[in-house]
Amino acid sequence: MWIWMTLASAILLGSYDILKKKAVTRNGVLWVLLGATAFSTLFLSPCLTAGSLNEHLRLVLKAVLVTVSWVSGMIGLKLLPITTASTLKATRPFMVVIFSIIIFGEHLNLWQWGGVVLALLAMTLLSISSKKEGIQFSKSKGIAAMAVSILAGVASALFDKHIISGMDPLFIQSWCNLYITIMLALCILVKALHDGKEREKFHWDWTILAIAVFITGADMLYFFALKQDGALLSVISLLRRFSVVVTFVLGAIVFKENRIKEKALDLAILLAGMVLLVIGSSV
């Protein structure tokens, strides 16, 4: 069951990325995220039950990691073609594997090493194709923002496995959304005070409500999958990254971006690497 929950979460997550790309054409990154998380918090408000101080401290840390990942990821999404950004996001499972080795002392088998090699090849090819669009990996602010987003997202995923065993999924999701909303509101307030009369204005867009619906559903399925007996974080992280297929295909259709065939090859190699990691995790 947790496999199907994860795949459904991936589909919602891919659609969510497309909606975010559309939303930031009318509003700043922080406004889009604040609107979406505020609605998500409202949806989950009945689940805001009491918890211990220790639980809330852990959820605040989780919220910090998610906020950093979301804000930097949205900046990267705004600055980069969505087909490039979605392919970069697909590297998160490989980072989870690498940090699992470092932190938990896990060892890779030949299948998993094959997946890592394919991931490195895909990133090299993506770097080459991105240069043709004028994107320098070493100098691009969008690439730097995506790198921060990926690292924060990996840290959040590793932390999820630590906290999920002792807490209810909806308790985690509801309080995290509330804390993220508060953090984003404070960021907007500080930015507004700094910018003065030049501060960004909010323009209502129904896309923001749709973003909230999709991310709420995607996260709910993810947390319940993670809570299932026998659920493997490494496999869930990999399967959830198949959301990039949805993002890539819809992004290519909606935004009509360039060099789709080259990027599709990069993504195919990366997905092949994911398949090897899944096989390696199950043998």
Report the distance separating Cα 31 and Cα 201, nearest Å.
9
Span 104-114, pLDDT tens digits: 666 677 887 88
pTM to 2 decimal places: 0.80
Structural domain that includes position 265: 2-282
Q: What is the pLDDT of residue 58?
A: 94
**Residue 191 CA neighbour count, 13 Å, CB half:** 13
Q: Please, what sign has the CA dihedral across residues 102, 140, 88, 272?
A: negative
Per the structure, the count of domains in the chain is: 1
| Element spanning 240, H or E | helix 233-240
Angle value at C-alpha 91, between 281 and 33, nearest 5 degrees: 120
- Per-residue pLDDT for the chain (283 aa), expressed as one digit of tens each? 788 888 899 889 888 888 888 888 888 889 999 999 999 999 999 999 988 999 999 999 999 999 999 999 889 888 888 878 877 877 777 777 777 666 766 667 788 788 778 877 877 777 777 666 667 777 789 889 999 999 998 899 888 877 877 788 899 999 999 999 999 999 999 888 887 766 788 888 889 999 999 999 998 898 888 888 777 766 777 777 777 778 777 777 777 766 777 777 877 887 888 778 767 766 6
Rounded Cα gap, residues 250 and 47, in angstroms: 33
**Tokens, residue 52:** 């211990």
Query: Between vectors from CA 182 to CA 147 and to CA 224, what angle results, nearest 5°?
Result: 70
Per the CB < 8 A criterion, the answer to whether 16 and 219 are in contact is no
Distance CA 224, CA 8 (A): 12
Whole-number Å distance between alpha carbons of 37 and 145: 20
DSSP state of 167: S
